[in-house]
Structure 1
Amino acid sequence: MNLVHRNANHPFVVWSACILWLISILAIIWSVTLFLVIGDLLYMTGTDIVNADVLLSGIILLPTSMQMLHVIGYNKKIETYTKVACCPLWICLMWSVIINFCGIVLCFQKIAIGRCVCESSIRTSMKLYRVAPKHKRFIDSLQWYMRCCGLKSYRDWFSEDWYDKVRDYEWDPENKELSRARTKQMDSVPLR
């Protein structure tokens, strides 16, 4: 006699339960490691909330996926009303989706805020390029390291008031040789 062992669940459900279990373990390990290693940096950048969201998602997914694997292990069909700790399976999965959606929204918000702060800092440094040595060093280092010029292109320097007006725009229309020499010294963008 040939007995075929059939699982009560579709293979997609079985694989999903395994993947959810793996994701939950990795989410917990990842977020706890980040909190322990760079917790201060997470706090200063405001991404600690995103990391806490990842941890919460992993904590909710772990018992949910373990319950699903437990039911699969006993060759029973997974039902949406199956209890996981204190609530049905579908509620745990729904909360996991909601928490992950909130995490995605928080990530995009933090990226947008970080971009605005960064652009503002670079624009300020571009304006103070000649008068504040720390801003000059910052811009020179940034442009040297990134191999770029300006915020988006070299044209950004034309819209900023960064130049030394006395030195760069002194010219005497009577003395054309002096005027040509001054024009050669005038820098339209910083050297780096």
Structure 2
Amino acid sequence: MSSTALSLTRRIVGLYVGLALYGASMAMILRSGLGNIPWDVLHQGVAEHVHLSIGTVSIIVGAAVLLAWIPLRQRPGLGTVSNVLVLGVVFDLVAPHLPDSPALTVAVPMLLGGIVVNAFATVVYIGVRFGPGPRDGLMTGLVNRTGWSVRLIRTVMEVTVVAVGFALGGTLGIGTVLYAVGVGPLIQLFARVLKVGDAVSGRSEPADDRPAVAVD
């Protein structure tokens, strides 16, 4: 196998490992019973009105969020399409095998582990540069256009989504708050450690005529 083919294979593996971990982390956080991921507050709220599974609603919302990419001039890729399809499927596969609202000695590690895994998975799948998922593409597009930090953009997005989801009947808790304020900084940390800051910020290569993006 040539070095180019080997590199491509590793990137594809990284993409689907990252997406699988992301879907599993969503299930970990939800099943902990301590609060949903902000986007899952929205998914749950919508699901209660349309009588579909949270995983299915996640797929539908992901497709809808792609419309917000148009004014941001974001370009979808393999990672974008895979994100829309894989996250909801993995969530629905993993969730039934996890304890539901267990004792705090189990719930707290599930919650915290889920948040850390979620941030790591985000960096892994975006870092292979096959294109971010709809929600993360919205984040990288806003970071790229505004020059604001990943931490600020991600936090604002999560808080907004929680508010809308809660209004629709989604459940939130301490886990929702911890995720909303913690995942942005964790993404920045993992992006720095894995040296994929440009990919996470939405910049595939340096460009002198574009504003610097605060990833660190």
TM-score, length-scaled by structure 1: 0.27
Q: Between Structure 1 and Structure 2, whose CA radius of gyration is higher?
A: 1
Q: Which has the higher contact order (CA 8 A, sep 6+)?
A: 2
Higher fraction of helix? 2
